[in-house]
Chains A and B, each alone.
Chain A
């Protein structure tokens, strides 16, 4: 067995607010392996990697590199030791070119000036060596997320990283970009690099990693060879109990049409056609899933229905009332609830209290406002009731939402939207960035709402999720609905994938039949 490249021994990290983020954690990485580090949000995996990268100091414990003890005080020292990290939020200069970003801080010089030709050459050479294709002269601002991530990786390699820590690299990627990333990771390992891969998507972990280390509640649960385990077993280690990976969904009868969208057209401010003649129905008691590679008009569609944008043409009717072009409040009062795509930026106000976040859609109504004045008691009671009912982990509803963990912020959004007793619920990417426990919760809630008669429009880039949750499925490609299937059980991921990529397409008559 190879000698470990990195050993982190008995690491404990206690933050100044008393939170114990790592509790006697021991973690080792062998040279040349792809090592997945998994755990639920808040399990301590990011903290552990921040310690390795010199961004946090451990309260106790030691780090060994190639058998020798080292102290890493800053990211600078980590880089000098050959440890590089790619963060979830990219740290690039958006107005610089890719080559400029990669050499930033250690530019090739020629008589004191930056030699930009050499920078471009270096970028090209690195890209070729590791199979990470980038356009060195493109400005970072103008390139897709997947390429920005490759730039981050190249930046670390340019600085001589031997070990690369990737913090949830696939969270921002489309399925296609994920495939490319995995190919690149395999190429990196072939050239002798070592990769630590933080994730909570078990399918990816299973696919890419050699070994898996699982963390739970600040402790290391264990490390196993990926080949010897399966997704169910990893999930059990992560959550500490049995997890139902398969969604159970009782059959229901489709109810009346709740949302009726006809010939919806939209163009962005820049004049790009985002939606073209989009038509579909969502009925009470059903989940209509919309599958599609991101950026094919889903975001625009959701925002049009929710009243955040106005359509160029076409009609939207909610329970028989036309709502196209109405304000968000009018749409909500007509019975629409909306779990937004980027919940943590649009779905909550971080510095406002939890209770106040829970009434943003209803604060003008009784009992929250009475005779022109707000009623703090009613606001607090409503907050306490929803905190209890949805199991939001907080001691007090008067605390700011920003004090909650990500998973609990999600619950604040779900609690508010579902407690408005909607006729229609739009759920956009409901489990993106969510760990296993929280996504199980989200799925239960959606199915419960569907059983209770809510019409649900589910938009998700996770094909497995849409297929298992939806009663019917539509596919979007280039702003068009290219297929609608009324029987999801008969579909496979591969089949839907062909429609998503535009290789297959239903005729208008077929779509019309399944509307």
Chain B
């Protein structure tokens, strides 16, 4: 073969590529850290402008979640939910499907889990696993609806998932008010789940004040491993990644793209339902109004920050919920309004997700080196 005769030093090339990869990874990391610093600086200026004490506020934001075990507990509890949601979203995102349905999937998971965990008496362990499995099946099915609409009817997945969110949210409200809430109850909320179904609080086990962090953190470990294996070690994961890379190519190569796309929504739904079960059995121990409000969008941020890599989702989830909890503490301690806290959070997220900025810096570097 003529082309193979071209001499080509592969081992030297290999070393060069490996070095280049390391260099790019370092640059990426440095740029990410620099962006966080820049965002904090912008927040600093914002606070100066609105006449707050930025040093005190930042102290609250940056050290607050670690200042008391209760606050650390709040952080980890929030992170658990966000990481599960980030994992859920990352599957469809990998297939380049912009699914926004995690919220409805969480509510459905929580409701289905609640029916079993409240009303069906079960022995320990089973009392957690059975509601979990039923909730995940329900999340799978509710996720399948927009998936099928997108894959086979060519519906816009953003519209489809948002509309389903709206419908499910109202249904949740309805069922909570008229079915789950006992007649004559003081508050709109369901009965508590059975004691066997409760995910034990870590603080109760080790006898210290650790808030509502519970054994549901196991869901995170299981979820990360499951999603990582699913995406990198199974034919389905190969299909998802190939479709995300080039859908036409996937179809040409023989992949059943419609089936894979529909499944990517559904499997994400099952994982999101896991997050709903965490809220139900671990955090609130019952259904309460607006239980998952807005959380699904935070899950999207977590997935985007992690570039949809399931192994990075726990890190970005911990980071992002640290900001959320730190922001709450800043609001209390430094009397900075919730609005300013959100502005600062938004600036940080905006800057980090702004790939544009990173590319700009890279382009500048390239220009400088070429001159």
Contact = CB atoms under 8 A, between A and B. Distances in A.
A59 interface: yes
A391 B1 contact: yes
A390 B367 CA distance: 36
Contacts of A90: none
B178 to A, nearest CB: 44
B17 A399 contact: yes
Nearest to A352: B245
Nearest to B243: A349
A308 B245 contact: no
A369 B238 CA distance: 11
A358 to B, nearest CB: 10
Interface stretch (B33-41, B185-193, B246-254, B330-338): B246-254
Given A347-B249, A348-B246, A363 B13 contact: no
Given A16-B366, A59-B370, A372 B238 contact: no
A346 B246 CA distance: 8
Contact of B235 (A327, A338, A364): A364
B342 interface: no
Interface string B1-15: 111111010100110
A363 B369 contact: no
B241 interface: yes
Contacts of A391: 1, 3-6
Contacts, number: 117
A338 B254 CA distance: 11
A327 B256 contact: yes
Given A352-B242, A372-B234, A393-B8, A437 B252 contact: no
Contacts of A372: 234-235
A228 B4 CA distance: 33
B6 A441 contact: no
Contacts of B251: 308, 328
A328 B17 contact: no
Nearest to A411: B3
Interface size, A (range): 35 or more
B199 to A, nearest CB: 30
B234 A396 contact: no
Nearest to B241: A352
Of listed B4, B16, B237, B365, residue having the most chain A CB within 10 A: B4
Given A352-B242, A441-B2, A15 B370 contact: yes
Given A16-B370, A360-B242, A437-B3, A349 B249 contact: yes
A394 B1 CA distance: 17
B252 A14 contact: no
A389 B244 CA distance: 29
Interface residues of B, number: 40
A333 B369 CA distance: 50
Given A352-B242, A393-B6, A57 B371 contact: yes
B253 A360 contact: yes
Interface string A349-369: 111100010001101100001
A479 interface: no
Contact of A360 (B16, B244, B250): B250
B253 A361 contact: yes
Of listed B5, B229, B245, residue having the most chain A CB within 10 A: B245
Interface in B329-371: 365-367, 369-371
B170 interface: no
A39 interface: no
Interface in A387-440: 388-391, 393-396, 399, 411, 437, 440
Contacts of B8: 393
B207 interface: no
Interface string A53-68: 0000101000000000
B255 interface: yes
B234 A373 contact: yes
B6 A328 contact: no
A14 B371 CA distance: 9
Contacts of A390: 1, 3-4
Nearest to B10: A395
Given A356-B238, A364-B235, A373-B233, A349 B252 contact: no
A340 interface: yes
A332 B235 contact: no
A294 B367 CA distance: 42
B370 A14 contact: yes
Given A16-B370, A372-B234, A411-B3, A396 B17 contact: yes
A444 interface: yes
Contacts of B250: 349, 360
A16 B365 contact: yes
B246 A57 contact: no
Nearest to B16: A395
A361 B371 CA distance: 45
A159 interface: no
Contact of B3 (A57, A369, A374, A441): A441
Given A15-B370, A328-B251, A361-B253, A349 B246 contact: yes
Interface in A317-360: 327-329, 331-333, 338, 340, 345-352, 356, 360
Contact of A329 (B14, B248, B254, B366): B254
B42 to A, nearest CB: 29
A263 to B, nearest CB: 26
B261 to A, nearest CB: 15
A377 B232 CA distance: 13
Contact of B248 (A345, A399, A411, A437): A345
12 contacts: A57-B370, A327-B256, A329-B255, A333-B254, A351-B244, A351-B246, A369-B235, A391-B6, A395-B10, A395-B16, A441-B2, A444-B1
3 A-B pairs with least C-beta separation: A360-B253, A329-B254, A395-B13
Interface of B: 1-6, 8, 10, 13-14, 16-17, 20, 229, 232-235, 237-238, 241-242, 244-246, 248-256, 365-367, 369-371
Given A328-B252, A395-B17, 9 more contacts: A327-B254, A347-B249, A349-B245, A351-B244, A361-B254, A363-B238, A374-B233, A389-B1, A390-B4
